[in-house]
Amino acid sequence: MTIISAGKGASKYNIHITGKNLPKSVLNSNLGKKNKILIITDSGVPKKHIKKLKELINSKSVHTLVLDNGERSKSFSSFKKIIDKLFELRFDRSDVLIAFGGGVVGDITGFSASTFLRGIKYIQIPTTLLAQVDSSVGGKTAINVPQGKNLVGAFYNPSLVLISTEFLNTLPESEYKSGLGEVIKYAFIGNKKLKNIIEKNPEKIIKRKSSILQTIIEESIKTKSKIVTKDEKESGIRAILNFGHTFGHAIEAKNNYKNITHGAAITLGMIIASKISFFEGHISKYQLDNIINMISSLDLDINHEKYKYSDLKKFMSTDKKISDGKLNLILINEKFEAFKTAKFNYKNISKALS
């Protein structure tokens, strides 16, 4: 088992990564025998996983709330459902929420924990690759609103993150590929070791070999934890984690959060951002081709041509990286290092989306 730390001071927490069962002793040391526990999950998580988790918990007061599977559950109505359940169970500040599922479950559970009684403890146990390498680490919590994705939320760290690659064995192919989109992002924004691993082992990754999965998850989290610890509230370097997200989030919104996974949208967004990086002169044509080839080697969709600037423009206007009325983009340079900039030719966005 590998342990990686993130956060600072009182909000510091550990991320445990294993290829085996969840560590029972670690879990229960963060729960307490007398506390009430509410497991928040969704209909996409196999019931056998939920049953196994409940068997690991020593507390005699364990409850479960199952949300509908999908991005639409990251909403005000689901938030109200959770809050109403906490009042019904008479939760107090000593009790604990467990987010057991993908990124939607993690985000809305964290947001609920951050607001109920002005903040109660929660634990992240992500069951999808996307949540394991991205949303479970960093303390970003949010819900979606009609105006855009993740526009209502809070920065609120979990007390613990437990990751097991065993959950990935039952993950649908589309969700697994969605997670690979975020994994490959870390290779493009500075993790040279991860980039090398992906280039040499695409088949093993596609086939979900346990040893390689644990390695790419560890490397992804090392990169993310380092960045979010430096910048917990996205006032500086943390913005580079949004490489591809300006366009990816717009693609999700254009699809009304249906028929495309988050990771698939971000993958297309990274190709668009990479093309802009090329048009702006930050990377070479060879490096752009290398990026597209790496994505393709993992059997991920690279067909972004169906999305035009006119389709995405209105959704980009609510992007969280807009500052002083200017859109900031995350681009990459020839060293495969990401950077935020408002200095670019807007015609290159249209060019990349043509």
- One domain, residues 121 and 263: no
Task: Render 116-150 in DSSP notation, one character per residue.
Answer: GGG--EEEEEE-SHHIIIIITSS-EEEEEETTEEE
- One domain, residues 203 and 163: no
% residues pLDDT > 70 (the chain): 98
Catalytic residue among 149, 185, 249, 282: 249
Catalytic residue among 149, 245, 282, 320: 245
Mean pLDDT estimate for the chain: 93
**Looking at the domain assignment, is residue 178 inside a domain?**
no
pLDDT digits (tens, 9 = 90+) for 211-256: 899 999 999 999 999 999 998 887 889 999 999 999 999 999 899 8
**Looking at the domain assignment, is residue 182 inside a domain?**
no
Catalytic residue among 262, 275, 304, 320: 262
Write down the pLDDT at residue 143: 94
**Looking at the domain assignment, is residue 154 inside a domain?**
yes
- One domain, residues 145 and 217: no
- One domain, residues 13 and 127: yes
Give the C-alpha separation, 212 to 207, whole Å: 10
**CA nearest neighbour of 172 among 208, 221, 133, 214:** 208
**Look-up of token digits 């855009």:** 148
Catalytic residue among 224, 275, 282, 304: 224
Beta pairing, strands 62-67 & 37-42? parallel
The domain boundary, picked from 170, 201, 230, lies at 170
**CA nearest neighbour of 102 among 80, 73, 139:** 73
**DSSP single-letter state for residue 73:** G
Given a contact cutoff of 8 angstroms between Cβ atoms, the answer to whether 252 and 308 are in contact is no
**CA nearest neighbour of 42 among 16, 81, 15, 14:** 81
Catalytic residue among 218, 234, 280, 337: 234
- The yes-or-no answer on residue 224 being catalytic is yes
Residue 321's pLDDT band (cuts 50, 70, 90):
low
pLDDT digits (tens, 9 = 90+) for 75-115: 999 999 999 999 999 999 999 999 999 999 999 999 999 99
Write down the pLDDT at residue 320: 66
Catalytic residue among 150, 242, 328, 348: 242
Give the C-alpha separation, 156 to 139, whole Å: 5
**DSSP single-letter state for residue 345:** -
- The yes-or-no answer on residue 63 being catalytic is no
- The yes-or-no answer on residue 238 being catalytic is yes
**CA nearest neighbour of 161 among 118, 125, 208:** 125
Supply the angle between the helices 192-200 and 285-297 in degrees, to the nearest 10. Answer: 60
Q: Which domain holds residue 195?
A: 189-352
Catalytic residue among 121, 140, 149, 177: 140
- The yes-or-no answer on residue 193 being catalytic is no
Catalytic residue among 48, 60, 118, 258: 118
- The residues near 34 (Cβ < 8 Å, ≥ 6 apart) are 59
Cβ atoms within 10 Å of 114's Cβ, excluding its own: 19
Please measure the distance between the N-terminal and C-terminal CA atoms of the chain and give it in whole angstroms: 46
Burial of 306 per CB tally in 10 Å (0-12, 13-18, 19+): exposed
- The yes-or-no answer on residue 182 being catalytic is yes
Give the C-alpha separation, 326 to 110, whole Å: 30
pLDDT digits (tens, 9 = 90+) for 151-178: 899 999 999 999 999 999 999 999 999 9
Domain count, the chain: 2
Which CATH number covers residue 216? 1.20.1090.10
**Looking at the domain assignment, is residue 279 inside a domain?**
yes
**Looking at the domain assignment, is residue 179 inside a domain?**
no
**Looking at the domain assignment, is residue 180 inside a domain?**
no
- One domain, residues 137 and 280: no
CA angle 186, 342, 310 (to 5 degrees): 90
Write down the pLDDT at residue 148: 75
- One domain, residues 311 and 231: yes
**Looking at the domain assignment, is residue 14 inside a domain?**
yes
**Looking at the domain assignment, is residue 107 inside a domain?**
yes
Catalytic residue among 36, 149, 177, 182: 182
pLDDT digits (tens, 9 = 90+) for 282-295: 999 999 999 999 99
Write down the pLDDT at residue 324: 66
- The yes-or-no answer on residue 234 being catalytic is yes
| Dmax (CA) of the chain | 61
Which CATH number covers residue 34? 3.40.50.1970
